[in-house]
């Protein structure tokens, strides 16, 4: 059985939130199904956060410098998106994240 959905790239999923795919009345109803736990999050904000996360992920994957980026803001944005998707996953990630400890201990 082909694994179509798991084989799609992160860029594909982020692009689905872009303005290019803003179809009248589609996101108005479906965004609440994707991010059911954040009723204030709109499509442009969700795309902006996800696009920044994708850029950060790509920089890390290519071993590019990231310390000049607003990493604390990126972390807060990531928390928001994960909490909007699933509060349980957000709680798990928060309980196991060491970002703040590492960030504040940096040389």
DSSP conformation class of 11: H
Distances (CA, A) of 66 to 60, 62, 63, 70, 96: 7, 11, 9, 9, 22
In this predicted model, what pLDDT tens digit does every residue of 5-64 receive, in sequence order? 888 899 998 998 998 888 877 777 888 899 999 999 999 999 999 999 999 999 999 999
Give the list of residues 6+ apart from residue 90 with CB closer than 8 angstroms, or none: 79, 82, 83
Q: Give 3's pLDDT tier (boundaries 50, 70, 90).
A: confident
Please state, in angstroms and as integers, the Cα–Cα distance from residue 15 to each residue in 1, 33, 65, 99, following that order: 26, 17, 24, 27
Q: What is the pTM of this model?
A: 0.85
The domain segmentation of the chain, as residue ranges, is 4-105
Rounded-to-integer distance, Cα 70 and Cα 104, Å: 14
Q: What separation, in Å, do the N-terminal and C-terminal C-alpha atoms of the chain show?
A: 49
Q: What is the pLDDT of residues 80-106, one digit of tens each?
A: 999 999 999 999 999 999 999 998 897
């Amino acid at each position: 059985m082909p694994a179509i959905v798991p084989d799609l790239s992160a860029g594909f999923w982020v692009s689905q939130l872009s303005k290019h795919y803003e179809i009248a009345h589609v996101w108005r109803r479906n965004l609440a199904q994707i991010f059911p736990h954040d009723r204030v999050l709109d499509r442009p904000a969700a795309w902006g956060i996800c696009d920044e996360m994708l850029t950060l992920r790509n920089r890390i994957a290519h071993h590019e410098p990231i310390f000049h980026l607003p990493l604390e803001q990126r972390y807060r944005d990531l928390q928001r998106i994960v909490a909007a998707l699933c509060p349980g996953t957000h709680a798990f990630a928060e309980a196991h994240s060491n970002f703040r400890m590492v960030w504040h201990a940096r040389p």
